Amino acid sequence: MPLIRWQPMRELDLLHRQMDRLFEGLADRDFPIPAVNGEMKWMPAIELQETDTEIVLKAAIPGIEAKDLDVQVSPEAVMLKGEHQQETKTEEKGYYRSEFNYGQFARTVPLPSTVKHDQVKSNFKDGVLTLTLPKAEAAKPKVMKVDLTQQA
């Protein structure tokens, strides 16, 4: 029977990675967020994709019109603000159940690299906002060849 060396730090690292995956899975879900005043608030779900030249951010914002959406981009982050407008009807009908979220929302998404915030391209269609953010020159990976010298 072979002898296996026990490495306690390896097991702690494995536990740490499992906990990270657990919490990442929870964070990816579209849960309402409790506000300070006890009301439930909503945040749009996002996808963030990075290539060598750009970052593409997609945000699911169903039921919002472009006029009710404010998008601001800095070199390090994207800020999404908006408001779900509740339709007002003159007829009175009782609701049995309503899970729609109305009111203001805001979400700031930190970016993995700095971007040229003045060259952003946007598309808002069918409740999905797509932002294409070109990376700043300093953020693009550069590989430099190193010349080696030998000493005699």
Q: Give tens-digit pLDDT for 71-83.
A: 999 999 999 999 8
* H-helix segments, the chain: 8-27
Please tell me the predicted confidence (pLDDT) of residue 27.
Answer: 58
Cβ neighbours of residue 141 under 8 Å, at least 6 residues apart?
52
Please tell me the predicted confidence (pLDDT) of residue 80.
Answer: 93
Least confident of 49-53, 103-107, 109-113: 103-107
Closest CA to 75 of 40, 110, 104, 39: 110
Query: Does the pLDDT value for residue 131 go beyond 60?
Result: yes
Percent of the chain with pLDDT over 90: 36
Please tell me the predicted confidence (pLDDT) of residue 123.
Answer: 95
Query: Does the pLDDT value for residue 16 go beyond 50?
Result: yes
DSSP labels, 75-110:
SSEEEEEEEEPPP--SS----S------EEEEEEEE
Please tell me the predicted confidence (pLDDT) of residue 92.
Answer: 56
**Domain assignments of the chain as residue spans, ordered by start:** 8-85+101-139
Asked if the 8-85+101-139 domain carries CATH number 2.60.40.790, the reply is yes
**DSSP annotation of 69:** E
Query: Does the pLDDT value for residue 1 go beyond 60?
Result: yes
Distance CA 40, CA 28 (A): 18
Confidence (pTM): 0.62
Total count of residues recorded for the chain:
152
